[in-house]
Amino acid sequence: MSKTIDFYYEFSSPYGYLAAMRVEDVAAKHEVDINWKPFLLGAVFKQVGTKPLLDYPVKGEYSLKDMYRTARLHNIPFEMPTSFPFMAVNACRLVIWAAGEDNSKRAELSKAIYKACYEGGQVISDKAVLLDVAEEYGYMRDEADAGISSDQIKAKLKQEVEEGVKAQVFGSPFFVVDGEAFWGFDRLDHLDKWLETGGW
Amino acid sequence: MSKTIDFYYEFSSPYGYLAAMRVEDVAAKHEVDINWKPFLLGAVFKQVGTKPLLDYPVKGEYSLKDMYRTARLHNIPFEMPTSFPFMAVNACRLVIWAAGEDNSKRAELSKAIYKACYEGGQVISDKAVLLDVAEEYGYMRDEADAGISSDQIKAKLKQEVEEGVKAQVFGSPFFVVDGEAFWGFDRLDHLDKWLETGGW
């Protein structure tokens, strides 16, 4: 049986965006699949006793610099959105509505949403912006609108986020493979090594 | 003028220990000097709104695993001390008393203290243990004892920690070169690249 990487990501997370741009390279190298799992960090901040990174004095300012530096080091286009952090619940719902359990569709749409935000400077907490992205990818605007507002999709996202909380996800990006957790864009090297060696 | 790395480290910080075992490799590669700056994180936790890493639920448990995994990946012997976190004020004072401004002595003694703690399982918040280490390195036990209790050394440490706070140090390990800050053992690669390229 092929291994899979459970990849949890919050849209209001620059390091999550950076990971979304690179995790497929790691997966392809080791011929493993990725389960794309949009996640809401708000669900765990209270539980873990943390808060959005940029809300910390001193550490927040440093982190902003580190985000840009990391993006430049890895040649990933990056610009902080003007409004940050933001509510990403509709972005998550859109991915789930449009892609269902199809991971390649989840990947495609998630990357498109991330790029709209961190490359395109668009406000993806704005539903109209999300619907623009959905349209670009061939979805009907009004169907998408109805879809992300439906009780079924709301419940499905809630369920997926709860599963993430149970899996002890507490940050973004967050990877789980073989039951081993890896947190942060800067742990892609651990993930890579883990897949290469089967653990060390 | 040769560049220098300001290296801040808290003795009650496993990632600080790991960095102390590797930062000299990075410095030697680029022929730069290191200013060894023992630091007390307690001074900034309140200001930044953070707390010792292992005090966070979920994130703390993950971090403990990550410390061991990181140590194994980099072939650094590592064992968590039985009592953690601990007061490192006397360890800092010992380094400052014994080494003064001599960075090679600071390096030697700091690494010895770190190893006693994270390799040797010794309780370095215990002054007797620190004095054992001092003795091993050729210092007179009673002179060291008097030194770390002296007002002069207490004031010197206070001053150095205040300088670190002014330099916006908020974690351990913490590196500053060219006014650019790098936080964490996992940023030694950024530091390496920065020294290689002069910034990017």
pLDDT (tens digit per residue) in B98-152: 999 999 999 999 999 999 999 999 999 999 999 999 999 999 999 999 999 999 9
User: In percent, how much of chain B has pLDDT > 90?
Assistant: 90
Shortest CA gap B83–chain A (Å):
22
Q: How far apart are CA B66 and CA B55, in angstroms?
A: 15
A181 and B72 in contact by Cβ < 8 A?
Answer: no
Instruction: Quote the pTM value.
Output: 0.95
pLDDT (tens digit per residue) in A111-152: 999 999 999 999 999 999 999 999 999 999 999 999 999 999
Q: How far apart are CA B153 and CA B143, in angstroms?
A: 13
**Nearest to A171, CA basis, from A84, A20, A48:** A48
User: Taking a C-beta distance cutoff of 8 angstroms, is the pair B12, B84 a contact?
Assistant: yes
Domains identified in chain A, total number? 1
CB pairs under 8 A between A and B: 67
**Chain A residues within 8 A of B197 when measuring between CB atoms:** none
Read off the pLDDT band of A1 (50, 70, 90).
Answer: low
> H-type helices in B3-102, by residue range?
14-29, 42-48, 59-73, 89-99
Domain housing A43: 4-197
Q: How far apart are CA A52 and CA A45, in angstroms?
A: 8
User: Taking a C-beta distance cutoff of 8 angstroms, is the pair A14, A64 a contact?
Assistant: no
Q: How far is CA A88 from CA A114, A126, A136, B63, in A?
A: 11, 9, 19, 27
Q: How far apart are CA A38 and CA A20, in angstroms?
A: 11
pLDDT (tens digit per residue) in A148-174: 999 999 999 999 999 999 999 999 999
The pair of three-digit structure tokens given for residue B158, joined into one six-digit string = 């206070």
What average pLDDT does chain A have? Answer: 96
Length, in residues, of chain A: 200
B69 and A181 in contact by Cβ < 8 A?
Answer: no
Read off the pLDDT of each residue in B144-164 and give the average, rounded to a whole number.
Answer: 97
Q: How far apart are the first and last CA of chain B?
A: 21
User: Taking a C-beta distance cutoff of 8 angstroms, is the pair A180, A167 a contact?
Assistant: no
Render A18-45 in DSSP notation, one character per residue: HHHHHHHHHHHHTT-EEEEEE--THHHH
Q: Which residues of B touch A (CB under 8 A)?
A: 44, 47-51, 56-59, 61-62, 65-66, 69-70, 72-73, 168, 170-171, 181, 183-184, 186-187, 190, 193, 200
A47 and B62 in contact by Cβ < 8 A?
Answer: no
Read off the pLDDT of each residue in A39-53 and give the average, rounded to a whole number.
Answer: 89
Shortest CA gap A64–chain B (Å):
12
Residue A31 has pLDDT above 90, yes or no: yes
**Chain B residues within 8 A of A69 when measuring between CB atoms:** 190, 200
Q: CB within 8 A of B147, min separation 6: which ones?
A: B93, B94, B97, B98, B153
Top residue of B67, B69, B76, B189 to mutate, by most chain A CBs within 10 Å, is B69
Question: Looking at residue B89, which CATH number applies to its domain?
Answer: 3.40.30.10
Nearest CA in chain B to A183: B62
B57 and A72 in contact by Cβ < 8 A?
Answer: no
Of all helices (H) and strands (E), which one includes residue A72?
Answer: helix A59-73
Read off the pLDDT of each residue in A173-180 and give the average, rounded to a whole number.
Answer: 97
**Nearest to B165, CA basis, from B154, B152, B174:** B174
Residue B1 has pLDDT above 70, yes or no: no
ipTM: 0.93
How would you class A50 by CB atoms within 10 Å of its CB: exposed for 0-12, middle for 13-18, buried for 19 or more? buried
